[in-house]
Amino acid sequence: MSASSLNRTLDGIEYEIVVGCEVHVQLLTKTKAFCACENRFGGIPNSRVCPVCLGLPGALPVVSAALVEGAIITGLALGSRVAEITKFDRKNYVYPDLPKGYQISQYDLPICVGGALEIAEGARAVGITRVHMEEDAGKSLHLEEAANASYVDFNRCGTPLLEIVSEPDMRSPEEAVAFVEGIREIMRYLEISDCNMEEGSLRCDANVNLRIHEGEKLFATPIVEIKNMNSFRAIRAALEFETDRQLAEWRSERLTLEAVGKSTRGFNDETGETVLQRTKEAASDYRYFPEPDLRPIEIGRELVEKLRSRVGELPAAKRERLKAQYGLSDFDAQTLVSSKAMSGYFEEAASGSRDPKKIANWILTEVRGVLNDRGIEITSFASPPEHLRELVDSIESGIISGKIAKDVFAEMAASGKRPSEIIRERGLSQIADEGELRRVVESVIAANEKSVTDYRAGRDHALKYLMGQVMKESRGRANPIAAARLLEERLNGR
């Protein structure tokens, strides 16, 4: 896509939106990044802390192997180059929820560099600048019942974090949302983070400014880093507001990046506005220096290759394969692959099935309906994949009708029984025997003389009514094709 195709015009100003994202992902490790404290969300405030994560004098950190491995796996999934030697650095700043007065992070030798993430199914690629390891800070609590005081919960201190930094390659709020959604999808597939934005295990800061085109001249507005975005809706709303604000500022003040520099703004979810917090710090403001308590890490190629096998098939590749292998639509593939467990359930059910597309339809409608009603994941669904395959095959082979199948499915979902067991116990098999079907047809014709007369007078709707009566008489068990043939033959005097 050319740069000119990305330009926009408003009130005579031609401009281009430039967005880069910093995505912070908490890892699902058993312990924290540099100590043995349990890594788990919530709990009694300040109950999962120790001298290391509180930064008490004399306490020494030890690097979690799970943190390093998670970073390598993430880098491999994003096509990054994994460093042969990496190290930790101290990022110094003072904030109430940072008890040490510094954060253990990475500066000049991050563990992974480069790579890319395709968004919009390959339409555009967003470059990855780096993936680095660090620890999370605590959490400040501003309670309504304590209007004149704030509290700090240090449970989150030391939680292992990956920061995934993109190139400024996104050109709209929608692309930024797609990028963060793509990161979340990959991290969930790798099963190294739940990426729950409500709990803060995935957070995003976005850097945004505008390139203003005036004839042959190109100006850049000051870069703003937006923080406090805790949902995809917030990311989109914050970037839309900031774009409008920077355009208005350019019209009135013509401020440029060269003259003003960078700043940080917070996003107010209630007002939908960004609010100035501070001028943007440079790296020198954080006084980075190598972490003296942690030695540099040498990463062997054998470890990298071992971890490469854990990456597996990623979502974009799986979508394309499912479409090619099972003939699924873009929508079906997108929805099934949005959950690794859901796509796994589908593939198990589709294996050996007479009609994999019908399997997909049942999962996307009936199965998802049950999951949504009960608020559960597919891993907690009562019916295993082979039961759904058996149900769909029962329809295809004419054992039961589609209408009866829905009743069978409801009992499957409630009890976990096999469909064949339910069909047998409740006597739900389709009536295919012509003698039995003829008896049902004769009974319906005898009880509906007016409809028979209407049909023979050329009123086609009467046939549909009579067929409905046949299905009602047979409690939905009549084979619809055979029953319709026999009914028409009888009505036409054959």
Phi, psi at 95, each rounded to 5°: -155, 150
Burial string for 190-210 (b: 16+ CB within 10 Å, else e) reads bebbbbebeeebbbbbbbbbb
Provide φ and ψ at 488, rounded to 5°.
Answer: -65, -40
CB 204 within 8 A of CB 25: no
State residue 280's pLDDT score. Answer: 65
> Is pLDDT of 3 > 50?
no
CA distances from 335 to 182, 188, 222, 315, 439 (A): 14, 15, 39, 11, 46
Residue in this structure with the two tokens 């924290």, named with its chain if needed: 32
In 3D space, the residue among 363, 314, 319 whose CA is nearest the CA of residue 337 turns out to be: 319
Query: Does residue 432 have a pLDDT over 70?
Result: no
What pairing do the DSSP bridges indicate for beta strands 297-298 and 85-86? antiparallel
User: What gap in Å lies between CA 47 and CA 45, rounded to an integer?
Assistant: 6
pLDDT surpasses 70 at 394: yes
Q: Which residue has the higher pLDDT, 397 or 65?
A: 65
The least confident of 163-172, 371-380, 473-482 is 473-482
Would you say residue 396 has pLDDT above 60? yes
Average the pLDDT over 117-138 and give the result.
90
DSSP assignment of 368-427: HHHHHHHT--GGG-SS-HHHHHHHHHHHHTTSS-HHHHHHHHHHHHHH---HHHHHHHHT
Contact (Cβ atoms closer than 8 angstroms) between residue 458 and residue 430: no
In the chain, pLDDT over 90 holds for what percent of residues? Answer: 67
Q: Check whether 1 has a pLDDT greater than 60.
A: no
Q: How confident is the model at residue 121 (pLDDT cuts 50, 70, 90)?
A: low
Q: Mean pLDDT score of the chain, rounded to an integer?
A: 89
SS3 letters across 332-376 = HHHHHHCCHHHHHHHHHHHCCCCCHHHHHHHHHHHHHHHHHHHCC
Report the pLDDT value the prediction gives residue 127, as an integer from 0 to 100.
97
Helices (H) and strands (E) in the chain, counts: 17, 19
Lowest mean pLDDT across 233-237, 290-294, 481-485 = 481-485
Helix (H) or strand (E) holding 218: strand 217-220
Structural domains in the chain, sorted by start? 4-306 (no CATH), 315-426 (no CATH), 434-491 (1.10.10.410)
Give the separation between CA 141 and CA 152, rounded to whole angstroms: 6
Average pLDDT on 430-456 reads: 73
Residue 66 has, within 13 A of its CA and on its CB side, a CA count of 18
- The 10s digit of each residue's pLDDT in 93-112 is 888 899 999 999 999 999 99
More confident residue, 124 or 118: 118
Q: How far out from the chain centre does Cα 444 lie?
A: 53
- Distance, in Å, from the CA atom of 392 to the CA atom of 400, rounded to the nearest integer, reads 9
Percent of the chain predicted with pLDDT > 70:
94
Residue 4: pLDDT band by 50, 70, 90 thresholds?
very low
Highest mean pLDDT among 134-138, 141-145, 481-485: 134-138
Cβ-contact 437, 472 below 8 angstroms: no
